[in-house]
Amino acid sequence: MGLTQLDIVLAIIIGTLAAIVYSLRVLVAMERRVARIEMHIERVVEKMIKEEIKIEKALTKRKRK
């Protein structure tokens, strides 16, 4: 009672599909991480821009005096 060629082909197809599903799962998880990193970078940049604006305003006030 050995494996037939059909059994082997079906096992290969199922294994390939399982690998594709796993790869897509990993890809989605990585994309979510990258999205979170981008959000954190945007927040830092916004804070830096606010600080720069404060510094520029302080410098223009000094120049007026």
Q: Give CA angle at 43 (39, 44), nearest 5°.
A: 120
Torsion of CA 37, 39, 40, 44, to 10 degrees: 140
Distance between CA atoms of residues 29 and 27, nearest Å? 5
- pLDDT of amino acid 23: 98
pTM above 0.75, yes or no: no
Span 28-37, mean pLDDT?
98
- Show the tokens assigned to 4: 């037939």
* Token pair of 19 as six digits: 């690998």
> 4: pLDDT confidence band, cut at 50, 70 and 90?
very high
